[in-house]
Structure 1
Amino acid sequence: MTVPNKNAVLDKIMERAAELRELGPVNESLGRLDDKAAKVLRDAGMIRMLQPKNHGGLETHPREFAEAVMGIASLDGSTGWVAGIVGIHPWEMAMADPKVQEEIWGEDPDVWIASPYAPMGIARPVDGGYIFNGRWQFSSGTDHCDWIFLGAFLGDEDGKMAMPPTSLHMILPRSDYTIVEDSWDVAGLRGTGSKDIIVKDAFVPTYRTIEFNKVVEGIQPKEAGLTNTLYHVPFSCAFPLGITSAVIGMAEGALAHHLAWQRERVQITGTKVKDDPYVLYAIGEATAEIQASRAALLENVDRMYDKVAAGQEISFAERAAGRRIQVRAAWRAAHATTEIMMRSGGNALRNSNPIQRFWRDAHMGLAHAIHVPGSVYHASALTDLDVEVPQGPMRSMI
């Protein structure tokens, strides 16, 4: 198994760990990342970890990226979430037309790109490109981004979805879309600033588009002539990596604060927590679950990376199994935070206690579409039984 180099980005982040911890409540109150938190990520090179070297990127091993996201999320869930989501976008941008890469990074390699990829818009073909319209939710970290990936369905000449459906990723500059302020009022991940986006009659030239299916099937990086193994790791492994890593990091953050809280805590019965075998059992079990989630996710990306590096293709069955591992890792970690929260006593509910924030953030992280288990578990079980998974929604996230 490939062993990545020392994680220089994570080291830089940890040098400013106290700053990111203190900014957690500030991010939550603002409803977005404080500028200081974003600067820590920029200074450390977090968002450039998967960016191509010819545009100032680091092209690190994806395991290093996941470890960095976990480390950040253990300090503040919202900052880790933004790092994981915005941090994956340079990976796909490396596959885009060189012309749009130059537009984005030509003068400043620290330009960030937002999303979401959900196909909530219609791209109507015209000469040289598309007329694009739509509204999207959940654009994490969008206030700190100057470009955006937006998912779309190809439209017909009347602006209606063409059949059969064809999904595109559209790339737009900040001047071509509107961020809807006050559209992010939520129970968890409040500091991510995952606001709505509106696009109205924007012209998107063809070179600023990518066919989603080509990314999923590994065609796009080959057509782009990319040689680094990083860019040939399957989309269904790379894209969820930052999101699930963030949830696991939040669980690690919850655990760290829980242990600090419990060391001197005396329960209402007069029993010290450190003398209560039932609580200690729960803490031990939760710790094991979080550690297992971390190990499973990192082993999964290592295995995918090593197989690609050896020149081997990743089958659909392997992609489905990888998604199963990734989804389950997130759910195990989040469930462990519930055990932690419920064993922390009533004072853990106070806004001044960070345990409740990590608990809320981790569970809201499960709401992301990439963590929905149903179709993933179904598809992976079918492949284990040597049954061909039909084309359609069951394969769409794999």
Structure 2
Amino acid sequence: MSNRVLDNIVAIADDIRAQADEAESIGRLPDEMAKGMKHAGVIRMLARKKYDGFESHPREFAETVMKTASIYGSAGWVAGIVGVHPWQLAMADPRVQEEVLGTDSDTWQASPYMPGGIALPVDGGYIMSGRWQFSSGTDHCDWIFLGAMVGDKEGKPLMPPQSLHVILPRADYEIVPDSWDVVGLRGTGSKDIIVKEKFIPDYRVMDGNGVIDGTVAKNYGVTETLYKMPWSTMFPLGITSATIGIAEGVLAAGIAYQRERIGATGTAIKDDPYTLYSLGEAAAEIDAARQQLLGNVDRIWDLVDAGKEVDFAQRAEGRRNQTRAAWRAVRAADEIFDRSGGNALRMDNPLQRFWRDAHAGLHHAIHVTNTVYHAAALSSLGPDPQGPLRVMI
């Protein structure tokens, strides 16, 4: 089946590349780049058909994000993160779905989900305040998902913790200017968000733990395989796809740069067996990372599509494979960059930007390996991991 959105992205690749320097300078996607991505439909891939979404297979979404990121890392990153939000919105109260997408199916939604706010229960909803970091693509979004903890009147989280995913319109939060000055993924505009004592009606609030363990989807009664997919498969998918796509960008830029390059010893790279070996090995590793991620999402999809339960051990195994795919791709990208000589460091060489962006991608919390590997290994031995080992799985 043809992926028409991927074809649309390929068609505007030159436009995206041409605006990359501007994005790096202003610290967000230029308006024209965001407009082109909207027209391409990348953010509608996981949205419901009811709102002119495509309900695409997650593999197609991942492939499209990878391609976008291989053209310009920050564009792919925004596509991967913002593109997942319509998937979660499909499990929210119909009233908020209508508010967000009812009049404009191209309305983008930002995040983050980290619990940077405290929500105090009141009649009909919550009063919430807080500050959040890393809201990628937020300048182009009119709604946002924010993570919060249910709190008491003193502003302290209740115990045991109760996490929420809260949906707010643009009028209810502040984007902090100049809060995104970083070494990589500069064009993502991942700025800070502030909310000050805003009322959130109940229907705009989702149970955070229920989103992650699938309870929300079950209670909502979704029937489509896409919306029964585990959060631990879908949310990381866009982020890791972008990271692998950026590594593919390193590979493409590295090959283009090395094609006519003469090494420090006066030998053409085409005649240097050591560099060629490293390029070949790195290319294989990046492709292996790509196939590992896509194979993982296919495996989970097939389980869900067959009506089978995806248990914690399977979710943990999926997260293990997803995080490993990101790390192996970036480590392979290092091999390419490290063998590209001093001129690879120059700011007019796109290779250095892809390399910086790849490393920035690994810094997302979804790519932290320690508890994920621990949980996957422990599950394989029989015990059911608890506490921190269940976070984001």
Q: TM-score range by the shorter chain?
A: over 0.9
Aligned to 2:294: 298
Letter in 1 for 2:329: A
Aligned to 2:103: 107
SS in 2 for 1:57: coil
Among 272, 279, 283, which residue is 2:279 paired with? 283
- State the AA in 1 paired with 2:159: M
Pick from 177, 180, 187: which aligns with 2:176? 180
Asked if 1:394 corresponds to 2:389, the answer is yes
Q: Kindly provide the amino acid, as one letter, of the partner of residue 296 in structure 1.
A: Q
Report the RMSD for the aligned CA atoms in angstroms: 0.7
The CA deviation at 1:16 is 0.9
Give the 5 Å matches for 1:164-243. Answer: 164-243=160-239
Aligned length: 393
- Does 2:61 correspond to 1:65? yes
TM-score scaled by length of structure 1: 0.98
In the aligned structure 2, how far is the partner of 1:346 from the partner of 1:209? 52
2:377 to 375, 381, 398: 381
Runs of 4+ in 1 over 3 A off after TM superposition: none
Partners of 2:33 and 2:204 lie apart in 1 by: 30
Deviation by residue 1:87-109 (Cα, 9 ceiling, x = unmatched): 00000000000001111111111
Structure 2 CA distance, aligned partners of 1:364 and 1:263? Answer: 27
Structure 2 unaligned regions, length at least 5: none
Task: Please name the residue that 2:30 is paired with.
Answer: 34
Q: Deviations over 1:137-162 (max 9, x none)?
A: 00000000000000000112333211
Query: Which one-letter code corresponds to 1:395 in the other structure?
Result: R
Check if 1:93 corresponds to 2:82: no
SS at match of 1:320: helix
Q: Distance in 2 between matches of 1:380 and 1:95?
A: 27
Shift of 1:56: 1.4
* Whole-angstrom distance in 2 between the partners of 1:25 and 1:290: 26
Matched, 1:144 2:135: no
Task: Show the 5 A alignment for 1:11-90.
Answer: 11-90=7-86
Instruction: Give the percent of matched residue pairs that are identical in Structure 1 and Structure 2.
Output: 63
CA distance in 2, matches of 1:23, 1:337: 24
Q: State the distance in 1 between where 2:36 and 2:271 align.
A: 40
Task: Write the deviation string for residues 154-206 of structure 1: whole angstroms up to 9, x where unpaired.
Answer: 11233321110010000000000000000000000000000000000000000
Say whether 1:328 aligns with 2:328: no
Alpha-carbon separation, structure 2, partners of 1:158 and 1:55? 41
Task: String of CA shifts for 1:98-122, please: whole Å, max 9, x gaps.
Answer: 0011111111110000000000100
Once residues 226 and 96 of structure 1 are traced to their aligned partners in structure 2, the CA distance between those partners, rounded to angstroms, is 10
Query: Is 1:249–2:245 an aligned residue pair?
Result: yes
Deviation at 1:43, TM superposition (A): 0.4
Asked whether the equivalents of residues 140 and 194 of structure 1 are also in contact (C-alpha less than 8 Å), the reply is yes
Q: Indicate the residue corresponding to 2:349 in structure 1.
A: 353
Question: Once the 2 structures are TM-superposed, how far is the Cα of residue 22 of structure 1 from its aligned partner?
Answer: 1.7
Aligned equivalents of 1:306 and 1:384: distance in 2?
Answer: 21
Structure 1 residue runs without a partner (length 5+): none
Task: Name the SS of the counterpart of 1:352 in structure 2.
Answer: coil
Could you list the per-position Cα deviations for residues 342-363 of structure 1 after superposition, in whole angstroms to 9, with x for gaps in the alignment? 1111111011000000000000
Give the residue type in structure 1 aligned to 2:24: E
Q: 1-side partners of 2:264 and 2:98: how far apart?
A: 62
Match of 1:10 among 6, 19, 22: 6
Deviation readout 1:291-340 (Å, 9 max, x if unpaired)? 00000000000000011000000010000000000000000011111111
Which of 350, 367, 371 matches 1:371?
367
Q: Return the match for 2:270 from 271, 274, 278.
A: 274
TM-score normalised by the chain length of structure 2 = 0.99
Question: Contact 1:125/1:157 (CA < 8 Å) preserved in 2?
Answer: no
Task: Quote how far apart the aligned CAs of 1:388 are.
Answer: 2.0
Distance 1:25 1:279 in 2: 29
